[in-house]
Structure 1
Amino acid sequence: MITGIVQGVGFRPFVYRLATELNLSGFTFNNSQGVTIELQGNSTNITQFVDTLTHTPPPLARIDTFEQVEVDSLANCSGFEIIHSESDCSAQVAISADKSSCPDCLSELNDPTNRHYRYPFTNCTNCGPRYTLINALPYDRPNTSMAHFTMCPECERAYQDPLDRRYHAQPVSCPHCGPQLTLTDNQGAAIAHKDAALQQTVERIKAGEIVAIKGLGGFHLVCDATNHAAVTALRLRKQRPAKPFAVMCADIETAKSLARGSDLAWQVLTSQERPIVLLDKHQTPTGETQLSPSVAPTIDRIGLFLPYTPLHHLLLQALKRPLVATSANRSGEPIITDSQDICTRLQGVVDCILDHDRIILNGCDDSVVQVIDDTVQIIRLARGYAPLTMHCNRPVPQSTLAVGAQQKNSIAFGFGHNLVLSPHIGDLFSLEAEQYFIDTLATFKRLYAFNPEQIIRDCHPDYASSQWAEQFSQLNGHCQPTQVQHHYAHILSVMAANQHTGKVLGFSFDGTGLGEGRELWGGEAMIADIQGYQRIAHLKPITLIGAEQAIKDPRRIMLAMLFEQYTLEQVLQLPLTNIAAMPQASIINLHKLWQKGVATQQTSSVGRLFDALACLLGVIETTQFEGQAGMIIESLANGLTEQQVANAGLVFNLPLIDGQWQTDLLWQQMMDVQLSRGDNETTKALIAKGFMDCLADAAVSLAKRHPQLPIALCGGVYQNRYLLSLTRQRLDEHGLNWLDTKGVPVNDGGIALGQLWYGIHQ
């Protein structure tokens, strides 16, 4: 028995060819556990078979376990065959993620003599949809959304031929028997079909229209990225004023004309996972690019990705220009997978819809990654990477479900030797998002016949995921769900990625999460293991005036920091952009709330400190999207020259006294520089750099006190490339060992895996 990612990846045809080459007889079949192979023949050849299969499996396969037993030989056994799959109620096989088009399929797509010429759904065993169209295990065509497409004789022949690369490729089809395109208006009325639909879509995009286009795991909202009016219109219609848009480029040459990246970054961009990769903008001396400035305003980075379906390739070949391709949804809601929902919810956003009749059973957004030094950091774990299945060295004692956090939600499952982290679900702030959460749960429960015996949730009682866990336990007679503190779960997620159970020193820096005693944490240092944690340091709390309102309007946090050090009259006279822009009456009212402690909350969040600094520097007023302040502060620091840094000689200090990093002392240092050096871009950039340098030094200084402990750097703040790179570099300089996240998001997308790691060890 072989387990791992061994179904839907050409594993059995590979086994068939290898056994045939080595003159071995026997058979192989799929079941819900994995793949079974029975061999008979020369012992030397069997040894060679096992060696080849374990060391050079098919490109998309991953072998987790390889169990061998001897069986009695059979008389009259000749030849090797692939027999029908078996199904049972206890699935263990790892589901493969969707993969981008392979070179062979793209070659056929562009070959006028091939029957797949210009067919937008061309695929084979080595590429195409997997997770997004599977309904049940084992992974066979009747268990997918291709079940109602009857194969034509030519596709049937390829599907049944073990020597053909389309052997048992479940989505196999061609223009005669497979899915087809339909272009509709924004109310769903058909305009054109098949190739005519594609050609009209091209013309409409060239004319500046916004089109919803169905991909593998959902719809994109697409427009010409070089057309400023079209990009601006998309922002207005989607009510997304500042958050960057991703751009799809036809090829790596186009991408390199728009951005700069390391060799590793280009490798990731062209990998079969085809994620969105965050790269440095490549600008001309005048600061212009061929893209609309509205694609990624105010920051020095851009998210690029390459086409990953035949449809995308055909589209970009015809357009010969980069496209904005952003998830089709309303702000904060999950990606839309059905054209009827586009008509209902985004009718005022799109001009037309390019749809097709292959149903998306399981929604899956685009993955987002960045390269930091020589490591890949996953920001959004989704298409190409997810579901992420990890082999657990020890068996999971009972089926365990972890329901994750409120933002960037994902869910995790533990059973057998498997730890499974779902694709990105999103923020659970709407009924649609909560339904998507429930649908994703149902998908995995159905695929794995999974019934949780233990449920793990966040400590925050108001999270939608926490409330679901409580209701499920009451309805199903389970004991109370186990609660895991948010920032401890961040650290546990890094431990899980490394199969680590011993003590670590974790730095959990993020926006906010519920701490002990209803406090809001977010700047924590903990010594932790799988049994618990000790909070050994944290930011000295800062005040959120208006509580959650301060997260959306971080000027309130800035004012609270200023009120700590200046009188109200002095604050009103400060020569700061955001002070001058606010009505004095508003500042006076906020001062009263701060003074009386009414409608305020304390937080130790590093993310909120970034927000306050961005307001101090006058680069934001209100927060348009999560992490905006951190992106802008990083962009400011990246714009400095070495000479400017050397001439400034600016160093801030963040002392640790009685377990608290003295936030107020750091703030006063930054204020002194801001007021003494004047409100100019260089001063802002120097303060931004000095602030992040100071955070890195504070973490490293504490780590030096615990040199024997591995270090986990986690939480959304560590998506800041400058901060993470500098912190790792300084840890390396002192010979301190840090743990890589190995494909698990450091943000709240990894929380569920951390919760799961705790639960399975209790």
Structure 2
Amino acid sequence: MTHTLYRKRYIITGQVQGVGFRPFVYRIALDNKVTGTVSNTSDGVFIEVQGDEATLAGFAFDLVDKLPPLAEVTSKTEEELSVVDGEKEFTILASEGKEGNRVLISADVATCADCLRDMSDPENRRYEYPFTNCTNCGPRYTITRSIPYDRAKTSMSCFPLCPDCKTEYEDPLDRRFHAQPNACDVCGPYVWLSEPDGVELCRGTEAIVQTAQRLADGKIAAVKGLGGFHLVCMATGSQGQQAIETLRTRKNRWGKPLAVMVKDIETARAIADISTDEEALVLSKERPIVLCKQRSDAPLAASLNPGTQYVGIMLPYTPLHHVLFKYYAQKTSQLPVLVMTSGNMSSEPIALGNREALKRLHSLADIFLLHNRDILVRVDDSVVRVQQDTGKPQFFRRARGFAPRPVFMADTAPSVLGVGPELKNTLCFTRDNEAFVSQHIGDMQNLEVYSFYEEIAEFLPQILEVSVEAVVHDLHPDYMTTRFAREYGKEHDIPVLGLQHHAAHIFSVLAENKFTGTALGLALDGTGYGEDGMIWGGELLQVDNVSLEHNRLGRLAHIPLPGGETAIHEPWRIAQGILWKLGITASDKQWTWLDEFSQQSEFLPQLLVRNINTPLTSSCGRLFDAVSAMLGLCHTVTYEGEAAILLEDAQDLSITDAYDCPLVESDDVLQLDTVQLFLQCYQDWERGEAVGAISRKFHLGLVQGCAALAEYAASTTGIDTIALSGGVLQSFTIGTELPKALAAKGLNVIQHIQLPPNDGCISLGQAAYGRQWLLNNS
């Protein structure tokens, strides 16, 4: 019986390179007995299949139903072709590159179960090999030079495949077919242990064994990982306490909690009360750091995470980590938990290469575990938590495992660059309906971070093959990013646009949710340069992301910052400044900061009376700082957010009462009287009320006040959608209770899904603004 032949072409775009997509297509072609070809191109994966109606239908079904685990299809086009006479088989063609690619860059993926089985089998040639991978796992973004993603365009190009690895690489039915980092200990990278002066001690598995022994002895190791270096030490017992204190002293990082890596999920459960959603996130292929509630009986060193009940946990995500933990567990009597923090000095980017690490980290680490697979793109660990009310993840830092996965926009527009903010910087390039937000870059306050920023600003448009048509920056005239945007615009002869910081926050969350039109936006954070030249930070905005009009409807009450920037680092100044504003200059109960700062405190009223270096701010973050300082929890901050974290941790969760936070109509905008909110905290403190009760009533009072502010604005404008953004939303209490309070008012609440609510989202908001500006002015 003769069957009529047909031929079809499919063009698949998305995350379809470096994920085993072509061998998947090859297998389902064989299963369905069709002929044709499949190839990687800059436009995506091209598939031509030929067969009768039934076999083509079976192939089409499998193409959708049986995708590889790492593949993400964003578009699929189909067209009829002329039949090719005499075609007998299905073949995989060589990759083809050209201008204007439509392929998504795959993020780095944790070691899969199959590769772990290979590594644990003494009869397997990859037994304990620390660079084992396949098409379903391993490095991607961090080793990629350009697209299409082929070995020649990665840092593995300098490692010729041995005969065994080449056979796997060329066999479409092998799971290592075209696994670009494919290697073994015969042909691939290797590790070695080094002294801080660069002298090699040993290499191979012995280097990992010796590293494990040194860690068990309480030493600090610099370990080269996937996107850069970690500083590693014990996290348990008295030795762990001493090692962490040494690390903090060397790194000049005193109070900020340190993340840990644990051997397995059982160990994670031994140190934290992990919910089902948290466990799924810890075990996910992205392997982020997940903030979990620490168990009361966890044997962790007290200096690991002072002042918080939460511990950041991640599982091993590279073969090297797995081998290291295997031997560390053998060398120590302690629970297999290791501090695993960024390999850098405070405020600097994570170290990337061997020579760079030996130069920058030699005073921090006792030993160095190095390897010779180059990291081309530095990427730090992602940090997330699970939202208690939704069970969904909320980002604190979006980097390894997630970057550069795009945010998909509501429509297609020309390419734009959002240069990001000064703190928690990311930058964002758009391409058609995709927004590529970079990995976390950091605080743009030194040349090292700025150099990292320039690396990514050059790398992303090159790998995305985009030509930017506008660049958008923050309004602050002195930000390094603002200067970069002006120079970039001049160099490329494109428009340079400014967008207010908090408007960018709201544009960002609207873009993430593909919202089009007018919405209210509540932006709560620490600092943003306002359109009136003042310091904003607690703003209710009305934003139209089509017309690009936005205006300020409300704000938190102004509070003074005596000493300016110094007050951010010494929040007792803010507390005393608010009390001075309230007419309170002394107390029967001694102010908590007088023992340490009595001389400065005595001088402070002169700054306030004469208005010398005492700017006003509507910042919500600074309000948290002031309450924390007034209650004696944090007078000086050693890391951003410390005062607020300590204040939240002090809450008595059994309290349900809230302080009053009244609305006040003023000449310009509606005002939330947070000064009166602070006064109630102070009055209860004077009366000897427990700190936990005061903290709880403050948090709930602020939530109710913000909800009332939004409700009033909704009633006067007729807008019932409110977008939430800003670093204050990272507070477990505010991030959980505020959305519920707003929803109870009948408002439609939209929040960040794929990006952090902190300033890491700003670049997306800038880019969303710029692309709409281009559409409006085309």
Fold in common (TM above 0.5) = yes
In structure 1, the partner of 2:180 is 170
User: Can you give the 5+ residue segments of structure 1 that lack an aligned partner in the other structure?
Assistant: none
Counterpart CA distance in 2 for 1:270 and 1:656 is 48
Matches within 5 A, 1:508-523: 508-523=523-538
Counterpart CA distance in 1 for 2:523 and 2:208 is 48
Q: Secondary structure at the match of 1:98?
A: coil
| 2:629 is the counterpart of 1:629 | no
Counterpart CA distance in 2 for 1:64 and 1:421 is 17
Matches within 5 A, 1:464-483: 464-479=480-495, 481-483=496-498
In structure 2, the partner of 1:310 is 319
More divergent stretch after superposition (665-674 vs 103-112): 665-674
In structure 2, the partner of 1:116 is 126
**Counterpart selection for 2:764 from 732, 741, 753:** 753
Counterpart CA distance in 2 for 1:313 and 1:622 is 39
Counterpart CA distance in 1 for 2:440 and 2:28 is 37
In structure 2, the CA distance between the partners of 1:656 and 1:127, relative to structure 1 (3 Å rule), is farther
State the one-letter code of the partner of 1:248.
M
Per-residue deviation, 1:70: 1.2
Counterpart CA distance in 1 for 2:407 and 2:56 is 29
In structure 1, the partner of 2:423 is 407
Counterpart CA distance in 1 for 2:28 and 2:719 is 48
Per-residue deviation, 1:751: 0.6
Matches within 5 A, 1:102-251: 102-226=112-236, 227-251=240-264
| 2:357 is the counterpart of 1:331 | no
Q: Secondary structure at the match of 1:417?
A: strand
Counterpart CA distance in 2 for 1:218 and 1:654 is 49
In structure 1, the partner of 2:659 is 651
Per-residue deviation, 1:600: 1.4
| 2:696 is the counterpart of 1:689 | yes
Identity of aligned residues (%): 39
In structure 2, the partner of 1:436 is 452
Counterpart CA distance in 2 for 1:461 and 1:33 is 40
Q: Runs (4+) of structure 1 moved beyond 4 Å?
A: none
State the one-letter code of the partner of 2:751.
D
Contact kept in structure 1, 2:672 and 2:706, CA below 8 Å: no
State the one-letter code of the partner of 1:69.
E
In structure 2, the partner of 1:319 is 328
Q: Secondary structure at the match of 1:220?
A: strand
Per-residue deviation, 1:650: 5.2
More divergent stretch after superposition (625-634 vs 559-568): 559-568
Q: Secondary structure at the match of 2:748?
A: coil
Per-residue deviation, 1:393: 4.3
In structure 2, the partner of 1:380 is 397
Counterpart CA distance in 2 for 1:466 and 1:44 is 59
In structure 2, the partner of 1:603 is 617
State the one-letter code of the partner of 1:76.
G
In structure 1, the partner of 2:443 is 427
More divergent stretch after superposition (517-526 vs 96-105): 517-526
In structure 1, the partner of 2:574 is 557
Counterpart CA distance in 2 for 1:29 and 1:653 is 62
State the one-letter code of the partner of 2:544.
D
Counterpart CA distance in 2 for 1:694 and 1:513 is 24
Counterpart CA distance in 1 for 2:704 and 2:625 is 20
| 2:599 is the counterpart of 1:589 | no
In structure 1, the partner of 2:365 is 350
Q: Secondary structure at the match of 1:483?
A: strand
Q: Secondary structure at the match of 2:348?
A: coil
Q: Deviations over 1:8-54 (max 9, x none)?
A: 11111111111111111111111112111111112233233223323
In structure 2, the partner of 1:699 is 706
Q: Deviations over 1:669-712 (max 9, x none)?
A: 1111111125xxxx111111111111211222233342752221
**Counterpart selection for 1:733 from 727, 744, 747:** 744
More divergent stretch after superposition (728-737 vs 198-207): 728-737
In structure 1, the partner of 2:8 is none
In structure 2, the partner of 1:616 is 630
RMSD of aligned C-alpha atoms?
1.4
In structure 1, the partner of 2:289 is 276
Q: Secondary structure at the match of 1:129?
A: coil
Per-residue deviation, 1:641: 5.3
- Normalised by the size of structure 2, how large is the TM-score? 0.94
More divergent stretch after superposition (136-145 vs 685-694): 685-694
In structure 2, the partner of 1:722 is 733
More divergent stretch after superposition (213-222 vs 45-54): 45-54
Counterpart CA distance in 1 for 2:167 and 2:609 is 78
In structure 2, the CA distance between the partners of 1:44 and 1:708, relative to structure 1 (3 Å rule), is farther
Counterpart CA distance in 2 for 1:703 and 1:23 is 61
Q: Deviations over 1:601-625 (max 9, x none)?
A: 1110000001111100101111111
In structure 2, the partner of 1:675 is 686
In structure 2, the partner of 1:87 is 97
More divergent stretch after superposition (42-51 vs 22-31): 42-51
Contact kept in structure 2, 1:242 and 1:296, CA below 8 Å: yes
**Counterpart selection for 1:666 from 677, 680, 683:** 677
State the one-letter code of the partner of 2:308.
I
| 2:280 is the counterpart of 1:267 | yes
Aligned pairs, number = 743
In structure 2, the partner of 1:30 is 40
State the one-letter code of the partner of 2:30.
T
State the one-letter code of the partner of 1:340.
R
**Counterpart selection for 2:21 from 8, 11, 18:** 11
State the one-letter code of the partner of 2:618.
S
Counterpart CA distance in 1 for 2:142 and 2:92 is 26
Per-residue deviation, 1:220: 0.3
In structure 1, the partner of 2:555 is 538
Per-residue deviation, 1:731: 2.9
Q: Deviations over 1:532-588 (max 9, x none)?
A: 2121110111111111111111111111101112354x25x54221134322x3223
Q: Secondary structure at the match of 1:632?
A: helix
Contact kept in structure 2, 1:709 and 1:737, CA below 8 Å: yes
Per-residue deviation, 1:257: 1.1
| 2:297 is the counterpart of 1:298 | no
State the one-letter code of the partner of 1:495.
L
Q: Secondary structure at the match of 2:676?
A: helix
**Counterpart selection for 2:723 from 709, 712, 717:** 712
State the one-letter code of the partner of 1:662.
D
Contact kept in structure 2, 1:337 and 1:360, CA below 8 Å: yes
Per-residue deviation, 1:426: 0.8
**Counterpart selection for 1:500 from 515, 522, 537:** 515
Contact kept in structure 2, 1:26 and 1:80, CA below 8 Å: yes
Contact kept in structure 2, 1:92 and 1:418, CA below 8 Å: no
Q: Secondary structure at the match of 1:506?
A: strand
- Normalised by the size of structure 1, how large is the TM-score? 0.95
State the one-letter code of the partner of 1:144.
T
Per-residue deviation, 1:55: 4.0
| 2:76 is the counterpart of 1:45 | no
Counterpart CA distance in 2 for 1:408 and 1:651 is 32
State the one-letter code of the partner of 2:218.
G
State the one-letter code of the partner of 2:123.
T
Q: Secondary structure at the match of 2:752?
A: coil
Counterpart CA distance in 2 for 1:7 and 1:641 is 49
Counterpart CA distance in 2 for 1:700 and 1:68 is 49
Per-residue deviation, 1:418: 2.1
Per-residue deviation, 1:102: 0.3
More divergent stretch after superposition (103-112 vs 683-692): 683-692
Counterpart CA distance in 2 for 1:44 and 1:345 is 63
Counterpart CA distance in 1 for 2:708 and 2:87 is 69
Contact kept in structure 1, 2:407 and 2:754, CA below 8 Å: no
More divergent stretch after superposition (383-392 vs 49-58): 49-58
Counterpart CA distance in 1 for 2:29 and 2:468 is 40
Counterpart CA distance in 2 for 1:505 and 1:727 is 15
